[in-house]
C-alpha cells in the first residue's frame, strides 16, 4: 500500500466546509483512495473512496488531483459531530485478504 | 446497511484471568473478520485476520497463544485474551467486509470493546 501523509490536526468552524488533505505521491495506477473516520471511543466508520474521478456521497466529497498524488476530503457543512480522527488509506481494490493499515490520521476539531 | 456488533463494550477483569470478546455481523455473512487493538492516543493496529473455518492469521509480534481467535460461523468471530495482564488493557475493535457495500476495502467496524485489566 502506498504511504500517505496527513496533517496531524485541523480546526474548522461549525457550519463551514472542512477540507482535509492527504498526500499519496507514490500511489500506483490500480490503488484507490479510501477515507475513514473514528469518533472518540468508537470504531472507525467508512466515508468514501475513489480511484481518479471525484466522488460524492451523503457524507462527503472526495477530490483527487489529476496526477493522483494528493486528494482532499470535503465535509461541506461541518457539525460538532464531525469532530473525529480522519484516516486516508491507499490500497488496491482487491486488497487481498489483508486488513487495512491505519496511519495517524488528522484530528479534525469542529469549533462552535 | 451492514452492522457489526461487539460484545461486551467494556470489561474489567483481574490479572491472570481470560476474557472473551464477540464480534457478530448482523445482516451479512463475513468469511473474513479483522481484529484491531488501539492504545490511548495511538492509531489502530491490526492484530489478526480471522477466517471462517480455518486458522487465524496473526500480524508480526502478536502472540497467537495469548490472543485466541475463533471464527466458527459466517457471522461470529471471537477473540479471547488469555491470562490477561495490565499491559493488555486496550480498546479492541473488530471489523468485517460486506462486499455488497462497494468492494473488499470497505470495512464495517464494531463499536469496540474496552478492556481494563487490574
DSSP A3-37: --B--SEEEEETTSPEEEEEE-TT--TTEEEEEEE
pLDDT attached to residue A81: 96
Q: Give the tens place of pLDDT for each residue, A19-76.
A: 999 999 999 988 999 999 999 999 999 999 999 989 999 999 999 999 999 999 999 9
Say whether pLDDT at A94 is over 70.
no
Residue B104: per-residue pLDDT:
62
The per-residue pLDDT for range B22-60, each reduced to its tens digit, is 999 998 888 889 999 999 999 999 999 998 888 899 999
Helix (H) or strand (E) holding A48: strand A45-50
Closest partner CB to A100 (pick from B6, B102, B107):
B107
Chain A contacts in chain B segment 44-63 (CB below 8 A): 44-46, 49, 51, 57
Number of other CB atoms surrounding residue B118 within 10 Å: 10
Interface of A with B (CB under 8 A): 32, 34, 36, 38, 41-46, 49, 85, 87, 89, 91, 93-105
Work out the pLDDT band at A96, boundaries 50, 70, 90.
low
Closest CB to A43: pick one of B46, B103, B110: B110
Task: Check residue A97 and give its pLDDT.
Answer: 60
Q: Judge contact between B82 and B20, C-beta under 8 A.
A: no
Tens digit of pLDDT for each residue in B73-117? 999 999 999 999 999 999 999 999 876 655 667 889 999 999 999
Of B49, B93, B108, the CB nearest to A97: B49
B104 touches chain A (CB under 8 A): yes
Instruction: Concatenate the DSSP letters of all residues of B10-76 into one string.
Output: EEEE-TT--EEEEEEESSS--SEEEEEEE-TTS--EEEEEEETTS--EEPTT--TTTEEEEEEETTE
- Percent of chain B at pLDDT exceeding 70: 95
Kindly indicate the confidence band of residue A109, based on its pLDDT and cuts at 50, 70 and 90: very high
- Has residue B65 got a pLDDT over 80? yes
> Which residues in chain A have their CB less than 8 angstroms from residue B44's CB?
38, 44, 102
- pLDDT for B72 equals 84
- Closest partner CB to A44 (pick from B6, B44, B105): B44
Q: CB–CB of B105 and A102 under 8 A?
A: no
Question: Which chain A residue has its CA at the smallest distance from B43's CA?
Answer: A104
- Pick the closest to residue A72 from A92, A55, A93 (CA basis): A55
What pLDDT does residue B61 have? 94
Min Cα distance A112 → chain B (Å) is: 23
Angle ∠(A104,B96,B75) on CA atoms, nearest 5: 150
Which residues, including other chains, have CB under 8 Å from residue A66's CB and lie 6 or more apart? none
- By CB atoms closer than 10 A (0-12, 13-18, 19+), residue A104 is middle
Amino acid at each position: 500500500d502506498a504511504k500517505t501523509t496527513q496533517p496531524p490536526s485541523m480546526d474548522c468552524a461549525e457550519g463551514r466546509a472542512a477540507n482535509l488533505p492527504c498526500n499519496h505521491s507514490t500511489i500506483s495506477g490500480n490503488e484507490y483512495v479510501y477515507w475513514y473516520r473514528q469518533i472518540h471511543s468508537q470504531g472507525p466508520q467508512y466515508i468514501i473512496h475513489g480511484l481518479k474521478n471525484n466522488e460524492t456521497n451523503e457524507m462527503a466529497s472526495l477530490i483527487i488531483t489529476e496526477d493522483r498524488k494528493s486528494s482532499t476530503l470535503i465535509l461541506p457543512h461541518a457539525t460538532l459531530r464531525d469532530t473525529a480522527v480522519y484516516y486516508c488509506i491507499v490500497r488496491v481494490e482487491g486488497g487481498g485478504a489483508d486488513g487495512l493499515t491505519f496511519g495517524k490520521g488528522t484530528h479534525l476539531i469542529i469549533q462552535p | 446497511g451492514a452492522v457489526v456488533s461487539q460484545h461486551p463494550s467494556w470489561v474489567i477483569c483481574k490479572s491472570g484471568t481470560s476474557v472473551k470478546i464477540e464480534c457478530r455481523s448482523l445482516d451479512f455473512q463475513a468469511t473474513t473478520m479483522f481484529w484491531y487493538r488501539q492504545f490511548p492516543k495511538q492509531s489502530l493496529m491490526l492484530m489478526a485476520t480471522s477466517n471462517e473455518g480455518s486458522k487465524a492469521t496473526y500480524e508480526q509480534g502478536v502472540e497467537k497463544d495469548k490472543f485466541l481467535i475463533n471464527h466458527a460461523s459466517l457471522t461470529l468471530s471471537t477473540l479471547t485474551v488469555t491470562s490477561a495482564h495490565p499491559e493488555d488493557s486496550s480498546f479492541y475493535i473488530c471489523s468485517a467486509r460486506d462486499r455488497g457495500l462497494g468492494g473488499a476495502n470497505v470495512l464495517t467496524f464494531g463499536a469496540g470493546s474496552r478492556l481494563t485489566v487490574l
